[in-house]
Amino acid sequence: MTSHVALRGVSRIYPGKPEVHALGPIDLELARGEFFAVVGPSGCGKSTLLDVIAGLASPSTGEVTFESKRVKGEVPPGIGVVFQEDASFPWLTVHDNIAFGLREAGAAEGEVAAQVGYAIEFMGLKEFARAYPAQLSGGMRQRVCIARTLVLKPRLILLDEPFGALDQQTRLLMGDELLRLWRETGATILLITHALDEATMLADRVGVMSARPGRFLDIISTAWPRERDSTIVSSESFGRLTSRIWTLLRGESIRALGRA
Amino acid sequence: MRWRDPLFLVVILFVIWELLYLAVGDVALRSPVATGKSLGAMLGDARFLPHVRETLLAFVQGFAIAVVVGLLIGVPLGAARFAGEVAEPILVALYSIPKVTLYPVILLVFGIGMPAKVAFGAIHGIVPISIFAMNAVRNINPTHLRTARVMRLSTSSFALKILIPAALPEIVTGVRVGFSLALIGTLLGEMFGSQRGLGHLLMQAMSLHNIERILALTLLLVAFAAGVNALLLALDRHLHRALP
Amino acid sequence: MTRVGFTRLFIILLAVGLLELLCRLGVIPSFTLIPPSAMAQSLWTILASGKFTPDIVTTLTNVGIAIATAMIAGIALGTLLQSWPAARRVLDPLFATYYAVPMYAFYPLLIVIFGLGDLPQVAIGFLLAVMAVIINTLNGLDRVPPVLLKAARVHRLGPLAAALRVRLPYAAPYVFTGFKLAVAYSFIGVIGAEFITSSRGIGYEISFAYNNFDNGVMYAMILFILLLVITVNMTLHVWEKRLLARRRRA
């Protein structure tokens, strides 16, 4: 079975004196429809990994393939990205933000209205459809960004610490939403997070990254059923998996802190 | 190095000028070299210098008045919050009206001659200087003011050691803008209300279709304005770095 | 209206009232200044008679052309330079010195090149306005958060689409500041030029009235310009506030 996304020998090195070896080498294969999480200490290159997969940055060595085609220089169609920082467009209403991609693609207004309406309902933004991002909280703005990505029906969704600024309870709920989205769309998801419990709870497999230059120390399968939600945090295997990940990460985090 | 880029720019501008000249020809332009020679000849001409003196005299007086009056208006308005709020839109409105339209009024009040030119330069410079001075004083870090009170500084000590250094960078920016505008105002005044001065010479050259002269005078004025502004800008930047 | 607004209005009315009084009492002679009420009267008569309507139309048209061309050229050049750091660095001293140079000094040159018509006036207005638009467009584009540029790439927008659909809309408040300045400078440039040498337009009529000792007409036209410019600027100010309100953190 061909993988949906494949990275072979990918690394990213920033030129200069001295060179900064930010990432790699990385070998990774994602199956279609899988939920993959990446955890690692700060500065290990997780965001760089996302940039390279999306085509926002070119790998210095190795190659990235998406749907059997090489990714280089530009973002291929079918990929959606939710960034760590707020990427909502402040000059557009929530509705127009979400409609942005569809309108750029030249969809008819009727189609746009239908799709956007659905996405707004799905993400619980109905009351705020005519509001501007400045009037919303950080969490709501992230939901707008997710809806904006969702509505284009991407086959691969990349998320870079999307719930970074939120409190724990909201994160758990947003995690449930993300799982719901995943099941509805059948997309392949790559989630970058610093929160171990979030990674363990949400993903089919968790990639544990080393300190810079980031490489995968291990990839752990969680073996969760597809129909899952945040209540699995109370199961026994959840605790075991999380402590296994932390054991791997602890040394790396100390190294990263020492270097930082 | 820092001087390379501006020099490069000046060279490019002269090259563009030369290219324009080659394209348009003698009917409307002269080459940079010819203009340079013209200017040289003009500066050596004894009849020319009185005009330069006239313009400089008018400008310096107008600028001085602009600085004094501008600060007298701006500093108190900056210190008195309410008065400042009331006055600000008025000042901004005054800034944006074409002061050229007030020139007949000034001529009627002062009559034709030096006083009118000085007044015209002054009104162009007063408004920006007062606006900048007002903002400079308004934005003084309140911590400085409290520190001064705690240290129980005398008024003169306070003014010298705290008020002036804190407000100076912004005030200098305002003075720089006021300088340029006062020059423009003086020149404008000379262009239609005077029988002497560089502005008058410029208009005279235009009516005689003396292209060499027009270009030489324009070059002189541009070089002077740009040169002094560059110096003031260096001072401005230095102050903003040294006294943030 | 706020206390500040009231005070301001009061001061303005006081100043006008004082002027009126001094004129009526003859303290200010009528060959120097006519009372504000007489100015308003004269203006009303002039507008009603339509005698200077062609001049008003000429001036406003020229101002309009100067603004439009300055905005288009300014935004285009600003956007181009923002993506071309080397060129921007070379031109930087020009940005810093531009407004120090007496632009009117070029007026005779423009007349020689373009002849006596409306073009030199529009050109001066354009030259004064365009740099403000470029500088403010650059300022705004500089502030576009990198994440939005990435988002544009994820949406697969080419450079032109990214500029028009993401970068410039983000920078709109700053471009608007440039627009306000373009309006002010276009008025200053065009009317000033009309004053110096022209055969039509409001500036010319003021100059003509002055030379013919016609204070009535002259002050009426001066009043007209003052009211026009102040109204336009106030309208832009209100418009700007409304646009910015959407972007302000609640």
Question: Is residue B143 domain-shared with residue B119, that is, in the same domain?
Answer: yes
The 10s digit of each residue's pLDDT in B183-228 is: 989 998 888 778 888 988 988 888 888 888 888 999 999 999 988 9
What confidence score (pLDDT) does residue B2 get? 66
Q: Letter for the amino acid at B114?
A: M
Angle at C152 between CA C147 and CA C157, to 5 degrees: 160
Chain A neighbors of C247, CB-CB under 8 A: 90-91, 132, 134
**Alpha-carbon span A165 to C71, nearest angstrom:** 40
Could you tell me if B173 and B113 lie in one domain?
Answer: yes
- Across the beta sheet with A69-70, the strand order is A20-30, A5-14, A61-66, A69-70
Touch between chain C and chain B (3+ CB pairs, < 8 Å)? yes
Reported CATH class of domain A5-78+155-259: alpha beta
B6: domain range? 1-30
Q: How far away is chain A from the Cα of C171, in angstroms, using its nearest Cα?
A: 10
Q: What is the CATH number of the domain that holds B231?
A: 1.10.3720.10
Q: Work out the pLDDT band at C197, boundaries 50, 70, 90.
A: confident
- A82 → chain C, closest CA residue: C151
The number of domains in chain C is 1
Is the CB of C112 less than 8 angstroms away from the CB of B187? no
Cβ–Cβ below 8 Å for C229 and B225: no
C165·A104 Cβ contact <8 A? yes
Place of tokens 């200044």: C33
Mean pLDDT of C167-186: 94
Distance between CA A104 and CA C153 in Å, rounded?
12
Does one domain contain both B173 and B229? yes
pLDDT digits (tens, 9 = 90+) for A207-253: 999 888 889 988 999 888 888 877 777 778 888 888 888 888 887 88
> What is the model's pTM?
0.87
A96 in C contact zone (CB under 8 Å): no
Beta bridge partners, A64, equal A7
pLDDT recorded at residue C149: 96
Same structural domain, B95 and B205: yes
* Range name among A177-191, B84-98, B137-151 with the lowest pLDDT average: B137-151
Best mean pLDDT range from A181-195, A223-237, B143-157: A181-195
pLDDT category of residue B63 using cuts at 50, 70 and 90: very high
**C105/B28 CB distance under 8 A:** no
Domain of C208, CATH number, reads 1.10.3720.10
pLDDT of residue B243: 67
Q: Are residues B63 and B17 located together in one domain of the fold?
A: no
Taking residue A255's Cβ as centre, other Cβ atoms within 10 Å add up to 15
Whole-number pLDDT of residue A1: 55
For chain A, domain boundaries = 5-78+155-259, 88-153
Q: How many domains does chain B have?
A: 2
Q: What was the pLDDT predicted at C232? A: 93
Residues B38 and B54 in one domain: yes
Helix axes C36-49, C215-245, angle to 10 degrees: 90
Confidence (pLDDT) at C249: 62
Contact B134, B76 (CB under 8 A): no
Enter the tokens of residue A72: 């280089």
Do both B11 and B87 map to the same domain? no
C8 and B179 within 8 Å at the Cβ level: the answer is no
Q: Domain range spanning residue C120?
A: 34-245
The sheet with strand A216-221 has its strands ordered as A79-82, A156-160, A188-192, A35-39, A205-209, A216-221
A14 touches chain C (CB under 8 A): no
Nearest to C200 by CA among C118, C119, C129, C102: C118
Which pLDDT band holds residue B244 (cuts at 50, 70, 90)? low
Work out the burial of residue B10: count CB atoms within 10 Å of its CB; fewer than 13 is exposed, 13-18 middle, 19 or more buried.
Answer: middle
Q: Which of C151, C157, C246 sits opposite A87 (nearest CB)?
A: C151
CA-closest candidate to residue A154, choices A257, A5, A29, A11: A5
For residue A191 the two structure tokens come to 């989630």
Q: How confident is the model at residue B142 (pLDDT cuts 50, 70, 90)?
A: confident
Q: Which residues of C touch B179 (CB under 8 A)?
A: 100
Pick A54's closest partner by Cβ from C154, C169, C172: C154
Beta-carbon separation of B101 and C102 below 8 A: no
pLDDT computed for residue C106 by the predictor: 87
The C-alpha atoms of residue C129 and residue C183 are separated, in whole angstroms, by 7
d(CA B75, CA B238): 22
Is residue B109 over pLDDT 70? Answer: yes
C221: buried, middle or exposed (CB in 10 Å: 19+, 13-18, 0-12)? buried
Over 60: is that where the pLDDT of B1 sits? no
Beta carbons of A200 and A36 less than 8 angstroms apart: no
Closest CA to B57 of B200, B222, B198, B231: B198
CB contact under 8 A, C148 and A91: no
